[in-house]
Structure 1
Amino acid sequence: MKKSIYLFALVLMTSAFSFAQGTPKIGISGGLLNSNVDFDFTLSSLTATNNTGFYIGLAADIPATDKFHLQPELLYGSAGDLGFVMLPVMAKFYVAGPFHLQAGPQFSFSTTLDDIKNKVGAAIELIDDDYNGSIEDTLKTVGVDFGFGAGFDATDQLTVQARYSFEMTNRYDGPGSGLLTLRAQQFTVGLVYFF
């Protein structure tokens, strides 16, 4: 699955570069990250974790027209006990001068889920106290999100942006999977500096 997503991202970025109407730019991106993981168990719901941290990585700006650009990014984020790699592919629509709106898919790959494993383990005991599998086997490491936000090009090289993304996939795949869902939301505020 991971190889398919990496291949898809590579094909998408290569295609975008080949159809670019202007000069593509490459840069670095970073800023503040707030990650919230919701844990829904039948009729009750709780926040499994809500942490603030940082993100950093690479970004590209690929102009298709004057008003429409594609901005793929490869980011690493860390918030509390959570660590993940994110691959957002945002369509940018310039609506007024340097101000633009963003929307698009984001693929996220969890690298650490320590804080969530204990809460999932407690829920599994309620669902199936005879379950003898690994908690790691019940959690999916790859998720598909939808993100949207806005940005402002302060200069040709510096962009300020804010984005919210929510997970469309359920990260839980264990006993009673119809009773339990595990989804994350992220809010980021940061800068992109293009070379």
Structure 2
Amino acid sequence: MKKSVLLIAIAILGLGSSASAQEYWNFGIKGGLNFSTITGDYFESPKTRTGLNFGVLAEIPVSDKFSIQPEVLYSAQGYDFASIDEDNIFDNDDNIEYQVDYISVPVLAEFYVLDGLSIQAGPSFNFKVNEELDYQPRNDAGDIDKDRFDSFGLNGVVGLEYKLNSGLFFDGRYNYGFTEVYENSGAHNSIFQVGLGFMF
């Protein structure tokens, strides 16, 4: 994992060095909501888990219409499902949540199509930091530690962002996991994100 983080950092610095010396990096903070689930032939449409995402970002101008935007985010993902609990392990609670949280490092190409409005697309490198099966997530009554999801995942990201002159911005994105969440599962992460932030 340390090698992966180092390689990502080198790539980001390399992209930034290609920007014109007259241009400046812009830094910001952001936060928002995730609506996450998993998709796959063997999963019967699990419900979405609503979680938070938050972190820091930089915008590296390359031209008037094109920038590179690397970010480092904490992203709460997973899914909800109802279980047929024949052994009464979960006290007949239908509200069961699989919580899988990541440190996500998106590196996005940003194309401005109108003043303040941009299309974003690129990869996201995701490092698992927490995984729990919670059978009463609203009451925080029962957590079972798991280690089933892979520790690393690669996502593709597409979205829109609108930035005001004040530095305030709003975005909406879709993330799809190119890698399986665990080996030979046929399951992939699927996340819609909405958020807001501020560029300094």
What percent identity do the matched residue pairs reach?
29
> How much does 1:16 deviate?
2.3
2:175 maps to 1:170? no
Counterpart in 2 of 1:73?
71
Taking the aligned partners of 1:82 and 1:92, their CA distance within structure 2 comes to 28
TM normalised by structure 2 equals 0.76
Taking the aligned partners of 1:186 and 1:99, their CA distance within structure 2 comes to 22
Taking the aligned partners of 1:17 and 1:157, their CA distance within structure 2 comes to 21
Change (3 A) 1:67 1:156: farther
Counterpart in 2 of 1:132?
none
Taking the aligned partners of 1:9 and 1:47, their CA distance within structure 2 comes to 33
Counterpart in 2 of 1:146?
156
2:162 maps to 1:158? no
Deviations 1:74-122 (A, max 9, x none): 0002256232111111100001111110000001122223239xxxxxx
Which structure 1 residue ranges, 4+ long, deviate > 4 Å from structure 2? none
> How much does 1:151 deviate?
0.7
Kindly report which structure 2 residues correspond to 1:75-154, keeping only aligned pairs within 5 A, or say none: 75-79=73-77, 81-115=99-133, 136=147, 139-154=149-164
Q: Which one of 51, 54, 58 corresponds to residue 52 of structure 2?
A: 54
Counterpart in 1 of 2:5?
6
> How much does 1:7 deviate?
1.5
Give the match's secondary structure for 2:16: helix
Q: Which one of 169, 184, 190 corresponds to residue 185 of structure 1?
A: 190
> How much does 1:64 deviate?
0.3
Structure 1: gaps (5+ residues): 117-134
CA RMSD across the alignment? 1.9
Taking the aligned partners of 1:158 and 1:104, their CA distance within structure 2 comes to 22
2:31 maps to 1:30? yes
Q: Which amino acid aligns with 1:185?
A: S
> How much does 1:26 deviate?
1.0
> How much does 1:62 deviate?
0.4
Counterpart in 1 of 2:88?
none
Structure 2: gaps (5+ residues): 78-96, 135-145
Taking the aligned partners of 2:58 and 2:177, their CA distance within structure 1 comes to 23
Counterpart in 1 of 2:17?
18
Counterpart in 1 of 2:139?
none
